[in-house]
């Protein structure tokens, strides 16, 4: 079965600085990869997804992620964070033979002024 690791539990970044969140997956073939964001007290919102093709994926809210097969990674990036980006971020992986997605434990992002 596939699995996901988000090595960073909590990241603090200054407003206007760049942000990178790490995600590593375990799966034998090319997985389906996702990034979600969750603001406090709300449901999860899909930021972007990767199924195949171009390994650099653009998403909503100015986020992008890059699929690197050699590193089994799908890191999320944003060039300049806004205070509204403070939230929890989840990486998830899906596979053709599975009935469900596997989610990472999440990374909490704090944005300081």
Partner 1 sequence: SQTIHQWPATLVQPVGSPLSLECTVEGTSNPNLYWYRQAAGRGLQLLFYSVGIGQISSEVPQNLSASRPQDRQFILSSKKLLLSDSGFYLCAWSVLSREEQYFGPGTRLTVT
> Which window, 16-24, 36-44, 58-66, 68-76, contacts partner 1 (CB under 8 A)?
36-44
Nearer to partner 1, 15 or 49 (CB): 49
- 43 lies in the binding site for partner 1 (CB under 8 A): yes
- 98 lies in the binding site for partner 1 (CB under 8 A): yes
Burial class (CB in 10 A: 0-12, 13-18, 19+), 43: exposed
- 11 lies in the binding site for partner 1 (CB under 8 A): no
- Other Cβ atoms less than 10 A from the Cβ of 110: the count is 11
């Amino acid at each position: 079965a596939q699995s996901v690791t988000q090595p960073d539990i909590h990241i603090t970044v200054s407003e206007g600085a760049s942000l990178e969140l790490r995600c590593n997956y375990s799966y034998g073939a090319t997985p389906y990869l996702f990034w979600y964001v969750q603001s406090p007290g709300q449901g999860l919102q899909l930021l972007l997804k990767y199924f195949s093709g171009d390994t650099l994926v653009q998403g909503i809210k100015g986020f992008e992620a890059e699929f690197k097969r050699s590193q089994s990674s799908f890191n999320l990036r944003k060039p300049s964070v806004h205070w509204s980006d403070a939230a929890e971020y989840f990486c998830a992986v899906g596979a053709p033979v599975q009935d469900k997605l596997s989610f990472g434990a999440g990374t909490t992002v704090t944005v300081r002024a």
